[in-house]
Amino acid sequence: MPDSPVLYVLNGPNLNLLGVREPEIYGRETLADVQALCERTAAGATVVFRQTNHEGELIDWVQEAREKADALVINPAGYGHTSVALLDALKTLTVPIVECHLSNPAARERFRHRTYVSAIAAGVVSGFGPMSYELAVKAALGLVQERSLSEDRSH
Ligand code: CA2
C-alpha cells in the first residue's frame, strides 16, 4: 500500500442539493456531511472530494485522477445514465474505480436501471444513503491494498 494513498471521491450533478431537497429519497445529510464521513472512513489516506454540475469538469477531474489517484470513488449522478464521454474518460484509468449511489437506482424508474459506469467499475455500492460512500471508500482502499500486496509478491 502506498504510504498515504490518494483517493478521489467525485460527485456529479445536483448532489450539491443533498439534505436540502427530496429528503425522502436522498436523506437529510448534506454533501459536507458525506465528505466528513469519507474523510473519517479513509483515515490515513488523502481524500480529494469534489462535486460539479458540469460534465466537462467531471471529465477533467477524472483525467486528473488518472495522474494523481490510487483509486476513484464516483457518484456520477445523472451522468452515469447518459454520458459516454464520462465512460470514455473512466476507461483510461488503471486504478480501481468504485461506483457509488445513495439510492438504489435498480429499484427506481427504468431509465436508472443501467449506468455506463458500472460496465468498467470494480464494483457498485447503492441504496445505503451516505453509508454507500463509507462502504465504497472501504472497498476502494481495500483494492489499493490488495494491489500493492500482489505487486510486492511479484518483486
Ligand atoms: O442515488 C444516487 O446517488 C443517484 O446517483 C442520484 C442521482 C440520480 O440521477 C441517480 O439515478 C442516482 C441524482 C442526484 C440528485 O441529487 C439530489 C440530491 C438532493 C436533492 C435533489 C437531487
Residue 31's pLDDT is: 98
Separation of alpha carbons 26 and 48, rounded Å:
22
Task: Tell me which residues of the chain have a pLDDT lower than 50.
Answer: none
Closest ligand 1 atom to the C-alpha of 75?
Answer: 5
Residue 1's pLDDT is: 63
Which residues form the catalytic set?
26, 101
Indicate if the alpha-carbon torsion angle 18, 20, 21, 22 is positive or negative.
Answer: positive
pTM score, whole prediction: 0.96
Residue 148's pLDDT is: 85
Give the ranges where the chain is alpha helix by DSSP (H). Answer: 23-26, 31-41, 55-68, 79-82, 84-91, 130-153
Q: Which residue owns the Cα nearest ligand 1 atom 9?
A: 78
pLDDT (tens digit per residue) in 38-83: 999 999 899 999 999 999 999 999 999 999 999 999 999 999 999 9
Residue 150's pLDDT is: 84
Residue 155's pLDDT is: 75
Report yes or no: 1 and 40 within 8 Å, Cβ to Cβ: no
Q: State in Å: Cα 3 to ligand 1 middle.
A: 34
Residue to substitute in 9, 11, 14, 81 for testing ligand 1 pocket (most ligand atoms within 8 angstroms of CB): 14
